[in-house]
Chains A and B, each alone.
Chain A
Amino acid sequence: MIALTAEPLALEPLIAAVRDDAHGAIVTFLGVTRATSNGDPRPVAALDYEAYPAMAQAELEAIAEEARQRFGPLRIAMLHRTGRVALGEPSVAIAVGTPHRPQAFAACAFAIDALKARVEIWKNECYADGASAWQPNAEAAP
């Protein structure tokens, strides 16, 4: 389960997707929209995500494969929202299952860090006063 989706995110389907009788650990990550951006006092009402679907999907799958090579054996699920995500709602969900917990924690951290640096998704911060601004990640590749 690796995809972009315009639907609200929940962790349960990702947990179910990575469950495996050989695995003793499942680590999950949920990224949710925050009330303010780094160094910007303006209250955020929502985030609006757009993606280049073909490249974003390929990059998500490449990250999953890299996670497998570095930390596997593992099962990984990654979903990222497109469209408008209200304050406090999840924009990204990741689940990783491994035989033992250190690999699950490490692979989950690797996956979200790589996603923020590499995947062709863009975020428009919509402020409570009606203004908006495209905000790149600090980790974005130059």
Chain B
Amino acid sequence: MEVRVLAFARLRELFGFGERRVACANGATLEDLWRDLARDDTEVAALRASTRFARNGALATATTVLADGDEVAFLPPVGGG
């Protein structure tokens, strides 16, 4: 199956994309997808603890199971204002 991944701010720079379609295995969770994208990048790994996940526009836990066509977003700590 395939999901659409959005990455913002420093994560966008480290992943090398702001939006991309990504193939993932049936039953994959948000955490699985993060690990696939992070590979062994130590800076990405260091940002994991402060990154929140969203699925289809709502915050979601790392154990959330993905469905085909989902929109996934990786959200660094916000900086508006």
Which residues of chain A have a CB within 8 Å of any CB of chain B? 31, 49-52, 54-56, 58, 80, 91-92, 112, 115-124, 134-137, 140-142
Contact = CB atoms under 8 A, between A and B. Distances in A.
Contacts of A50: 8-9, 12
Given A54-B57, A55-B57, A58-B57, A137 B9 contact: no
Given A55-B57, A58-B57, A119 B9 contact: no
Given A52-B6, A52-B73, A122-B8, A137 B78 contact: yes
| SS of B interface (majority) | mixed
B8 A52 contact: yes
B12 to A, nearest CB: 8
Contacts, number: 76
B81 A136 contact: no
Given A52-B8, A134-B10, A31 B78 contact: no
A119 B57 CA distance: 12
B67 to A, nearest CB: 18
Contacts of B12: 50
B80 A119 contact: yes
B80 A115 contact: yes
